[in-house]
Each structure stands twice: as structure tokens, then as C-alpha cells.
Structure 1
């Protein structure tokens, strides 16, 4: 079946009677077609310009007859034949005109059908997805199908956060285009977005002139030029707004650089129509993205609520189970064993006051020593992860158990594998229940200390010897054996709860050190009172050695210094009060010298004569000696220092002068002045005793006064 063009050429051949001819067909959008039956004719020769006529025109020039047939949309057919051979009749011309008109109309219908097909296909494509990124890519791809005369393009959407039009999808450009971000009103795309008017430019010069007219920045100019590599000259460009009503979302621009077809106002309208459909697709995708995001947020929130609900259920379950064990007085060890079962991991508990680990396991060495636990939580009251490296890495979760600011102990959980939030909640709830259990136990311990204190007071009074001896057996004490009292004093404390816990810890530590001896021990305020019963007095040295170890460990771990006063060892219950008094005097001696150490009453020496004296009396006595030596230069002047040095050097003038770095004559002058100020003489035995006693008290027992 012949095409329209073939039918027309057949008609020409039939009616031209072998006369040579040329046919030029000029179509809209710059397309053209050339046909001839003479191979000797130069095909590059163009026909002359012929005035357009609604039907057809005959034009003669250069011994040729030119027949011009004009139709709508700049569709034109020109037939040229040598004038000497021209034999076409009017009815033949009319028939030829009708043939070309029919061909033109059929071609227009086919073109419109294709455009409509591409437009519908493009709309169907961009609306087939709700994924925003995919929709944006499809818009640019299908734009070039709807406008086949264009061969590259890009889509920009407005970003209100940075107040710029941002490239979102492109075809025919490199990634440098992503840097092309224009302000509203800047360059062609910015201007189209600003006023919403579609624009078409028919030459490269028009495009660049418009870019300059709308003040494209130097940076954006570099970006758009470098995004086309290698650079190809433009033939034309079209830009339309992407809008829904008055709401502009962005702009679409296409370039023509290599194709022969011409971009026209018709194409601009077609692009504008497609852009309107694209705007709807973009808005739908944006709405879908927002709904999807909200749905994801709701889903995430729902999952979090579900997770929190699981946490609450787990918390209630753990609390109910452990509280039941506590109310049944099952004790700390049973609670710890139940926690092990709940989390399915190795969990142990360190009891600070008792210095023991739960659960008790024979021949098992704890991962952490008591000293390490105390150092870790000396100032920390929050959980901590600790890694230990031996043959392999082992991880542990340490959770402190506190009552107020008081550290009661901690859980140690092996977490070398997973440790879920539910496990953490179980440990957290376990700590709360165990804290109550420990406080309950500490209260019972306080009651025990109170009863022990009452019994110790009866020992001090010794009113009913036989009853005390019998009661002592309950404490595993032989009150007829050798006995002595030691008093441990915590010197620094601010919080009474912390002090109470420290007293419990100290008692536990002492009991552990003296576990092979018969003792009675209890806490009272900031002191620990200890009564030791010995069958052999030589064992005192072993006990006092443990006292020194306890003091050093305590200082290293808690930082709070201890004073320990030790009374003399005596035989029999009747001397308990005496040893207790001596222990208190030893503490007083340490306090007067501002020392924190272990001190024995026997070491006080001559100072024991003054320990019972009221401090006011001793202060008055010292003032009688030292106040007259004070001058306007201050309390610690040369005369006081000279007197103390002179007595300390056993009245040796040469040694005193050497110590003070003064000439011996200067020393003699000072001594004379001291005698004058105090109205006494160093040669008088009574005066000398007074001065020696004052200097001794000043430098030893009451040096602070």
C-alpha cells in the first residue's frame, strides 16, 4: 500500500511526461523534505522566496516555474520545473493541491495522535508512583518524550528553608548542576518562578541575554555552564512554572541543542500543560511522603509504647516477686538467686557493711575485691560498665545500691554477651527491693548494737558480777580472762546516714580481721567500741598489728582518717572500766595533737598527769608564761621561739644559738629579756620547773592553745 508521498510522486510522474522536477516540502518545527527525478540537479539549491497564498501560487524565475502550495502551521510545498517543459493545467494543479492538503492533514493528525499518546503516557508514568524521588526523575524523562524537539532539561523545586530553587532531577547534565541553586527572580528559572509566566527563547544569544537580564550570579553561571560537558551551543530553550493554581512548587526548563525540529509557542503551551500535571504528581508524592513519615512516626511511637508497656509489665513482675520474697524474710541471698534466674546471667551482690558476696560459693574468687568495689563507688552513684582483660575480654555491669547518699553495695552482672533493657530493668527493680531489705537488716543491726551497748555499760558499772559473767558467755567472752578496750573514731563526717553506714563497714572489717579472737563490738555515733578477751596477753601484738592494717586499708579506700585509742590489758571484769577510760584518754591525747593514728595509753607517759586537768586551767597556766612574751609583732615572736628552743636543747646556749641562727650574745640578751618579762630566773629550780612544764605542755599535749 502506497503512502501519501508515494501517491503524489506517482501523480507527478504521470502528468509531467518525463519532465524533470524538484519538490521541497517545508514542515512546522523546521523540518524539511526534498525530492527530485533528475540526478543532475544540485540538491543544495534552495527555491526562491515566494509570497504565501491561501491556495497555491505560480511563480516564474530563472527559466523555471515554481508552484507554491501553502497550508496551516507554516506547512508549504514548492514544485519547480523548467519553464519550457511546463504543461500543468488548472484542474491538475487543483488536484495536486488537494493531494498535498490531504497528506498534510493526515500528517498533522498522526503528529497530534503521537503527541497525545506521549502526553497521556507521560502523565500516566508520573502518576504511577508516589515515591517523590522516582516521580521527579520520571517528570524530566517524560517531559523530553512529550517535547521530542528538546534533548535535555531539569526540574527545580523551591526550598523555603534556604529560600532557593534546588535542582531535583535532570537529563543531559552532569552532577555539577546540583550546585545551581538560584534565588527567586534570579536567572531564567528564578524569574519564571517569580512571575509564573512561561518563556521561550529561539537562540543561544536570547538565552544568555535573559540570564544576564535577570542577574544570574557569577557562581551560578559557572555551575550551569560546567554542568554541560562538553559544552554544546543552544538553539532554543523553554521554561515553565510548575504550579497548582497560584501555589508555585518549582520550574521546568528544556534545552534544544542538536535536533532539527523547531520549538514553537505550541510546544511551550504543551510543556506548560504537562508541567501542571507534573505539579499535581509532585504534590501527591509530597503528601504521600508526609503521610508515610507520619505513619512511620506513629508506628515508631506505637512500638515505643509497646516496648514501654513491656518494661512496665516486667518491672511490676520483678517488683511483685522480689517484694514477696522480702516480706517472707527470705534474705538477701535468696533475692540475689531469684535475680540470677530472671535475667539468666551470672549476677552477684557485694554487701558493703558485711563485706561479703552473695550468693555464697565455696572456692570461688570474686571478680572484684572489696577494696576495688569501694574505690569504684567512692564518689560514683551511677551504674558503670567495666572491662577486664585476662586471657580474653570480659565485660561487667556494676549497679550501685544506695539509700539516699549511702552506698550499701552493688550488683555485678556478667555482660560479655547481650544485656537487654529488660535485664537492666530487672536489675534496677532488684536494687530497690534489696535496698529495703538491707535497710531493714541495718535497723536490726542497730537494735543489736543498742543491746550490746547496754551490756557494755553494765560491765563498766560491774554491779552484778555474776550476771555479767553469765551474759558474757552469750557473746563468747570469758570476762575472767585478760581484757582490754580499743575505741575506733571516725574523725570526719558530714552526713549521718553515710556515717552510720561507715560504722557498719568498719565493724565488719574489724570482725573479719579478728575472726579468731573473742570480741564484743558495737557502734555508737562516730565510734566503734571493741572489748577483746584473751587467754594469753602476748596475743595483743597480733591484734594491734591488725589494727594498723585496718587503719591503712580504711584510709586507702574511704579516705576518712581514723583515730584508735587502746587501753591497757588487765585481768578480770573489774578492770574493763579502767581500760575503757584509758582508751578514751588516748583518743583525747590524739585529738589534742590533731593526729589520726593508733595510740596506746602506755605511750602517753607523763602527759597522763594532765589529761584529767580541765583545759581551761591548763590554758590559764600557759598564758601566764607565754602571753607576756607576745608583742605587737604577733603571737609567735622571737622571745617565744627562743624560750621553746632553749628548753628543748636542755638549756644549751650554743646548741640553741646554732638552731636559731643567731649569735650567742644575742641569745643571752633574749634570755635576760625573757627573765625580766616573766619576773623569774632560770637558775631558780621552781621557776625552771614552771618554764619546763609550760614548754612541754605547749609543744605536746596542748600545743594548739
Structure 2
């Protein structure tokens, strides 16, 4: 400080040796003086103020500076008055001295920017750059003690704080939209804003923000601030704000220029970091693709070796169980296997129930080719034409990526064995159908009994037949479904003496036993499950003596025809078909003609005819009881008698005649059925 005083004192004394000069440190502050008395100042600019407090001897001259120490100069003369021209000369010398000092200060400040720019350029990560931004801004701008660095997030359309100093951490929650608050306006306009009073800062908040109110509640309000865009040519990355919190300071145009210069270097560093990140990301992607390619090549080599090994093992092990066991030993893990043909291998938990569980609880449409986790097991489906034909299973803990790929290859290999079983079933169905055709043609005799026995079916005292119809006829690509249904039927009838085969439309099942109760028990079991298995309708015959096997089939086919005419899903027994069995083979038009011949006089849509038809149905349904019929219709018996006479007159039928009553009853029943169907 003394050097500063002495330098100025020497300059003034050299030009004015006859004057007595004293220079003191001034307690007056630039920001106080510029706010309170700018209209009465002798001279002021952004850097210093010259204030002439006294023109009489001694003359008191204040040189109040923003960035360098402020001075008070006391000038005394032997004479009573000091000429105004001399005062002007001294004032001019003071100005020149201050300008020189300010230039030195500016040079020093720009050197600081250069140093801070080097730090920015030395960091390639955004994390390091944000720290250098905070440090550099505080070092570059005098009297600044807080910094906010915001970057624009296109996804949120927000300016988000990425580096903050001088505030609590919750300030990071304070993001603003473009045009909102000071930062938003600077970002949108690409022009700096300088505010040198707390009132001006508070006035800049034009609308209420709950987030800002929450943040500001625990953070100070600045006395002055400068906000500049972080601008790289025409692209703006965000904003940089410096604030003065601790003292009532002001910022000037130099501070704005300094901060703009620094912000442009921040933008350049941010762009470089972004490009660096993109290059690193690109490199990582290329490296990742290279590693994936290497892994795929390795898996391809392993897959090829594994395929060759499967071929060798399949040649040595002809049946599926021994093949799966050999694969388990080769891979050194427990492999479970179930398929549509009923084959089961392995000791994994509940594996014997797995096929039914998976295909019942999860429809084939929901099962995809990718493996999935179920109850601590990893299950790899075997799919053929979008139909699950089997599952390969391992413990979840063993299902590494390599094992999963290996199981996928194994399942593809095993599907070939499944399709062989499908073809064998088709051949078996044709053979069994041919055998049964012979039995039905020749009847039960020693020869046909032997033939059936050779095909696994023992003719005993009683026999029953059930014919099951698919919802839709199958095509060649769905033959695998027939195998599934066939094996589910075999599973249900595992303890029964059954003969099962199918054609493209129906499944035929014959059951023979020395106990009719056991046959009925098997029928009941089938009735509960046929729809779940995938059948739409089924007709069940009566249990009859074995020699009447053809009658058993005819009854089942007739029953199936009746339930189809009723257009209902489910199972129907022959003894439930009623009178419909007599008409099942008649054409629909023929039945309509019969109904019309009998009931046409009371079949029109008039209200009178509807009343008569309802009366007739109630009369028949109440077994010709006049009192019960009148009660159900809520009419007087005399009214009922009148209606019956009217019906007899129109239909030319005598309801007291057993023949006429039978005809009209059948016609009413068939009318009710036809209306229920149509």
C-alpha cells in the first residue's frame, strides 16, 4: 500500500513542488458512492470515481476505485487559494495514474483467464471440466464468491445445474426453462445480463416457482450477478453465472468481458469433452461388437463341435433316455427331458408332472422358443410349427449363457426324434383303423379277438365306446397335436384296457372290462378332461356286451351327432339323447317340413298364435293336467278348455287320441330344439 501511495505522491510532487501532498487509504467504497451520489460526482466510470470534496486549501480529492485500493489526497498550498486550473491538472494526473494501474490489473486478470483456460483444456471429462469452471470463474472475476454453471438438457427442455459453488446441494434441483429466470433469458437471447443490486435480482423473477422458492429458502440472495451464455459460435451449451454474496459489490463491463471470454473457453472445452465422449462411446461400441463377434464365433465353433458330439452319441444310444443320460454325463450336469410322446427322463423335481403343468397352465400360443425360468428350473421349449413338442430342463443355477445356447441346440436335435414319433403314430392310427374296420365287419370271433389282442386290446365281457371330435380338422402341420392328445388320453386311461386311434376328424376309444362299473368310471374320468385336452365334443355309448361292439360305435356316433345338432361343447351320453336320436340322421329341411305339417296353423307371428302355441307346450309339459296347466298359465280352466278346442280345430288333431297326441308332442319338441339351434 505504501508503494502505491509513494508512487502517486512522487508523480504529483514532481510537477507541483510548491504543494504539500498527503495520501491516505480511503474507507469509502466504490459501490456505495456510485449508488448514492452518482449525480454529484466530479468524474466516474466503470473503474474509479473522482470526487472533489473541498476546493479551498487544503483541497480534499477522493479517488475511489473498484479493483485497486481507494485513496484520499490532501493538497495544501502556502497560498490561501489553489487555482482551479491547478486542481484540474492534479485531477488529470490522478486519472492517468489510475488508468495505468487499471491496465496493469486488466493484464493480470487476462493472464488469469489464460491460466484457467489451460486447466479447462487439460480435462477431457465433463466431471473435471465442471470443477475447473467453478474454480476458474471464481479466480477470474474479482469480488465473486458464488458460481452456477448450467447445461441445457434437450430431453427435459431445461437448463440444469451441473456445477455450483457458494450454495447448498439442493440448488442442483433448481432447473429452469428457456426464457424463465435470468439464466433462461440469457440462454434464449445469447446476450449477457448484469445486475448490481438485490432489488434488481428479485425483480427479475417474473413468475412464481415452487422449486425456486424451496431452494431460495435455504440459500442466500446475491447482491450482484453476471450471467453469460456458454456459447460456441452459434451453439449455446448453457449459461455461466457469477454472484457476489458476501459484500455489497458491483460488477462492471470488464467483469462481463472477462466472464464472456472465459465462458467461450468453457464452451470449447465442453464441445471437446462431448466429442471425446462420442469417440470413446464409438470406440466402446466397436470394441463391444468385436467382443460379441468373437463370442459368437466361439459359440459357433462350440455349437459345431457339440452337434458332431450329439450325432456320435445318438448313434451309440438308440433310445431317447440313454441319449439324454449320455448328454448329461458329457456336459456334467443333470438334464431333464419330457416330450409330447410321454417320454420322461431325469431326476429333477416334479419332472413327471412337468408336461401336463406346462401345457395346461400355459397355452402353446404363449410358449415361445426362448428358454424361461419356472420354480428354480431353466426350461428350454422344443417348438415345431409353433407347437410345444417337448422341454429340456436343467437347474436354474446351472443355466449359464453357454448352457442355454447348448440346450437350444440340443432341443433342435431332439425335435427330429419327436417328428419320427409323430410319423409312427400316423402309421399306427391307420393300422388300428384297419383292424377295427375288420372287427366291425366280421364281429367278435376267435380271429378278430386274437387280432385285437395282438394290438394290445383284450376283449372281455363288456364294452363301451366314446368318439371325440376336434374343434377343427387338423392338417399335416398340426399332426404333432394329435400326438399330444393321444398321449394325454393314454395317460388318463393308463389303468384301463383301451383301444385308441384317430382319423383326421375324430378320436375313437373302445374300453372293455369284465366290470361295467369300471368302464363307466373311465368314462367319467374322460368326461372331466376331454375339453381340457383339446376336444370340442364327445359322444359316449351305453356299456353293452362285447359282441355288440358295432352297436357301441353306432351309439357313440349317434350321440356325437346329437350334441353337434345342439351346437354345444362338451360330452353327451347315449341315454341323454332322448327322442332326438331318432331324427339325427334326417335332413334339417325334412324335420322343418314335419313341424310345419303339424303346427303350421299356430306358427305365424300373430299374438293369438303365440298364445295358443305357449298353451299347447304347457299342456304337454304338465302331462295334460288341466288344473296344473291353468295354474302355470294363470288362467281359468274354462279359458284353457276353449284354447285346447281352438288348437284341435286349427291342427285337426284330437289331443285325447294317443296317436295324435304323440305326433303333436314330437312336433312341439322338435320345434323347441330347432329354435334352440337356430
Same fold at TM > 0.5: yes
Superposed displacement of residue 530, structure 1:
3.5
Superposed displacement of residue 547, structure 1:
1.3
Match of 2:669 in 1: 699
Is 1:461 paired with 2:441? yes
Match of 1:287 in 2: 275
Is 1:404 paired with 2:404? no
Match of 2:33 in 1: none
Q: 1:438 aligns with which of 412, 418, 421?
A: 418
Match of 1:141 in 2: 135
Q: 2:358 aligns with which of 373, 396, 401?
A: 373
Match of 1:493 in 2: 472
Match of 1:358 in 2: 344
Is 1:563 paired with 2:539? yes
**CA separation of 1:83 and 1:488: change in aligned 2, threshold 3 A:** same
Match of 2:376 in 1: 395
Q: Secondary structure at the match of 1:443?
A: helix
Superposed displacement of residue 450, structure 1:
0.3
Following the alignment from structure 1 to structure 2, what is the Cα–Cα distance between the partners of residues 192 and 340? 67
Following the alignment from structure 2 to structure 1, what is the Cα–Cα distance between the partners of residues 308 and 385? 23
Following the alignment from structure 1 to structure 2, what is the Cα–Cα distance between the partners of residues 646 and 268? 107
**CA separation of 1:704 and 1:336: change in aligned 2, threshold 3 A:** farther
Superposed displacement of residue 129, structure 1:
1.6
User: 1:608-664: per-residue Cα shift (whole Å, max 9, x none)?
Assistant: 877788887766555433334433438984444544554555544334444444332
Answer yes or no: is the 8 Å Cα contact 1:590–1:599 preserved in 2.
no
Match of 1:126 in 2: 120
**CA separation of 1:110 and 1:456: change in aligned 2, threshold 3 A:** same
Match of 2:23 in 1: 24
Following the alignment from structure 1 to structure 2, what is the Cα–Cα distance between the partners of residues 478 and 241? 96
Where does the alignment leave 5 or more consecutive residues of structure 2 unmatched? 11-19, 31-41, 44-53, 63-67, 80-96
Number of equivalenced pairs: 621
Answer yes or no: is the 8 Å Cα contact 1:483–1:533 preserved in 2.
yes
User: 1:202-249: per-residue Cα shift (whole Å, max 9, x none)?
Assistant: xx46x977997xx77456999699499545645xx6676655567665
Answer yes or no: is the 8 Å Cα contact 2:498–2:509 preserved in 1.
yes
Equivalence map 1:76-475=2 (5 Å): 118-148=112-142, 150-155=144-149, 168-174=162-168, 176=171, 179=174, 181=176, 183=178, 194=189, 204=196, 217-218=206-207, 226=216, 229-231=219-221, 233-234=223-224, 252=240, 254=242, 274-303=262-291, 305=293, 330-333=318-321, 336-337=324-325, 347-352=335-340, 354=341, 356=342, 358-359=344-345, 365-366=350-351, 368=353, 371-378=356-363, 380-382=365-367, 394-398=375-379, 400-404=381-385, 406-411=387-392, 413-415=394-396, 417=397, 419-462=399-442, 468=448, 470-475=450-455
Q: 1:688 aligns with which of 640, 652, 658?
A: 658
Superposed displacement of residue 562, structure 1:
2.3
Q: Secondary structure at the match of 1:560?
A: strand
Answer yes or no: is the 8 Å Cα contact 1:485–1:532 preserved in 2.
yes
Return the TM-score normalized by structure 1.
Answer: 0.67
**CA separation of 1:425 and 1:4: change in aligned 2, threshold 3 A:** same
Answer yes or no: is the 8 Å Cα contact 2:372–2:378 preserved in 1.
yes
Answer yes or no: is the 8 Å Cα contact 1:453–1:522 preserved in 2.
yes
Match of 1:57 in 2: none
Where does the alignment leave 5 or more consecutive residues of structure 1 unmatched? 12-20, 32-48, 51-59, 85-102, 388-393
Match of 1:674 in 2: 647
Superposed displacement of residue 442, structure 1:
1.3
Answer yes or no: is the 8 Å Cα contact 1:342–1:426 preserved in 2.
no
Is 1:529 paired with 2:508? yes
Following the alignment from structure 1 to structure 2, what is the Cα–Cα distance between the partners of residues 613 and 4? 130
Match of 1:547 in 2: 523
Superposed displacement of residue 145, structure 1:
2.7
Following the alignment from structure 1 to structure 2, what is the Cα–Cα distance between the partners of residues 288 and 7? 53
User: 1:638-692: per-residue Cα shift (whole Å, max 9, x none)?
Assistant: 4445445545555443344444443322332233233333434455xxx522432
CA RMSD of aligned residues (A): 5.8
Q: Secondary structure at the match of 1:493?
A: coil
Answer yes or no: is the 8 Å Cα contact 1:348–1:412 preserved in 2.
yes
Match of 1:597 in 2: 571
Is 1:625 paired with 2:598? yes
Q: Secondary structure at the match of 1:382?
A: coil
Answer yes or no: is the 8 Å Cα contact 1:563–1:597 preserved in 2.
yes
User: 1:557-581: per-residue Cα shift (whole Å, max 9, x none)?
Assistant: 647342222463144xxx5445444
Answer yes or no: is the 8 Å Cα contact 1:185–1:192 preserved in 2.
no
Superposed displacement of residue 448, structure 1:
0.9
Following the alignment from structure 2 to structure 1, what is the Cα–Cα distance between the partners of residues 588 and 249? 118
Answer yes or no: is the 8 Å Cα contact 2:147–2:243 preserved in 1.
yes
Match of 1:43 in 2: none
* Larger relative contact order, structure 1 or 2 (CA cutoff 8 Å, min sep 6): 1
**CA separation of 1:111 and 1:367: change in aligned 2, threshold 3 A:** farther
Q: Secondary structure at the match of 2:122?
A: coil
**CA separation of 1:153 and 1:694: change in aligned 2, threshold 3 A:** closer
